[in-house]
């Protein structure tokens, strides 16, 4: 009777097979990306492409990536084309890259700062307000594709649309030109704009307002939604913040949380401009 021995495959052969499979998968994936990039790029060709390259400080290879990064989800209803994608997936990737680059930058440039403070500093640099500041200074709104209603919301000062586009562009640069170019874009284009605006301070206005009023003996502020408007995909909330029974500020936003922060910021700006307060919050707000 013939006996069979289990054949031992050398580790080197296993590694070659795994590597070969990975290469084949990568080639197929790159071909898929190339096919996608062949669809017409209607927005950043010609003069607009050159202008975007100047804004980003990046030489664009795959224009479709940047078009996608600048496409707000509201534009999908306008275009009604299944090949057109919004920037939400790129935003997800760009957010992770931004957080890592900023964390590394703070780690090397603030060697005497403890972990807790580094975490706080990172949150100041990667939040939507900081990114929206960068987007406005780079005039990215001039390149974006969106619906008329979304553009109207943006004109009212909405920060999320612009912040999301910045994160998506970071991902586009990474996929197009590699990690080092994405790092350069963040450190040389975005960070200087953030630091110029002095964003390295606490922007949790709800927390700051709470500290402000409680230090003066008043009860915690109360937030109330006074209006909801817009379609479900572009909901707009208006919130009023009350100190005692008096309204101290009103803010709007795409979420209740954002509207509350904006209301708290307005209230804080108003209250800190007042003279020494009385023990009556309503008189304090007059």
- Residue position matching structure tokens 């600048």: 70
* Annotation says 167 is catalytic: yes
Q: Give the separation between CA 74 and CA 164, rounded to whole angstroms.
A: 13
Q: Helix and strand tally (H, E) in the chain?
A: 14, 3
Name every residue whose Cβ is closer than 8 Å to that of residue 153 and which is 6 or more positions away in sequence.
161, 230, 234, 236, 254
Name every residue whose Cβ is closer than 8 Å to that of residue 267 and which is 6 or more positions away in sequence.
209, 221, 241, 243, 248, 249
Name every residue whose Cβ is closer than 8 Å to that of residue 200 and which is 6 or more positions away in sequence.
121, 124, 125, 194
Element (H, E) at 246: strand 246-253
* Annotation says 211 is catalytic: no
**Active-site residue identified among 67, 91, 95, 164:** 95
Q: Give the separation between CA 21 and CA 40, rounded to whole angstroms.
A: 32
- Residue position matching structure tokens 């057109």: 84
CA dihedral (206, 208, 214, 218) positive or negative: negative
**Active-site residue identified among 167, 176, 258, 260:** 167
Token duo for residue 100: 């890592």
Rg (CA), the chain: 25
Q: First-to-last CA distance in the chain? A: 103
Question: Distances in Å between the alpha carbon of 51 and those of 45, 59, 151, 174?
Answer: 10, 11, 21, 19
Active site residues: 95, 167
């Amino acid at each position: 009777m013939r006996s069979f021995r289990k054949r031992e495959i050398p580790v080197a052969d296993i590694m070659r097979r795994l590597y070969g499979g990975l290469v084949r998968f990568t080639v197929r994936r790159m071909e898929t990306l190339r096919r996608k990039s062949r669809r017409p790029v209607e927005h950043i060709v010609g003069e607009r492409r050159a202008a975007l390259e100047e804004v980003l400080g990046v030489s664009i290879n795959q224009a479709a990536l940047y078009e996608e990064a600048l496409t707000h989800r509201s534009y999908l209803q306008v275009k009604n084309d299944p090949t057109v994608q919004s920037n939400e997936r790129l935003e997800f990737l760009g957010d992770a890259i931004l957080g890592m680059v900023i964390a590394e930058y703070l780690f090397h440039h603030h060697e005497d700062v403890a972990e807790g403070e580094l975490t706080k500093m990172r949150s100041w640099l990667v939040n939507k307000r900081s990114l929206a500041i960068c987007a406005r200074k780079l005039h990215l709104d001039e390149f974006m594709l969106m619906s008329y209603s979304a553009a109207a919301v943006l004109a009212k000062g909405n920060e999320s649309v612009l912040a999301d586009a910045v994160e998506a562009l970071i991902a586009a640069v990474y996929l197009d030109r590699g990690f080092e170019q994405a790092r350069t874009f963040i450190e040389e284009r975005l960070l200087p704009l953030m630091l110029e605006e002095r964003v390295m301070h606490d922007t949790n206005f709800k927390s700051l307002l709470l500290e402000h009023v409680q230090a003066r003996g008043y009860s915690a502020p109360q937030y109330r939604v006074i209006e909801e408007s817009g379609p479900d995909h572009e909901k707009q909330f208006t919130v009023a913040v009350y100190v005692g029974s008096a309204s101290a500020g009103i803010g709007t936003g795409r979420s209740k949380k954002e509207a509350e922060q904006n209301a708290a910021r307005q209230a804080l700006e108003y209250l800190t401009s007042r003279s020494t307060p009385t023990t009556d919050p309503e008189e304090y707000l007059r």
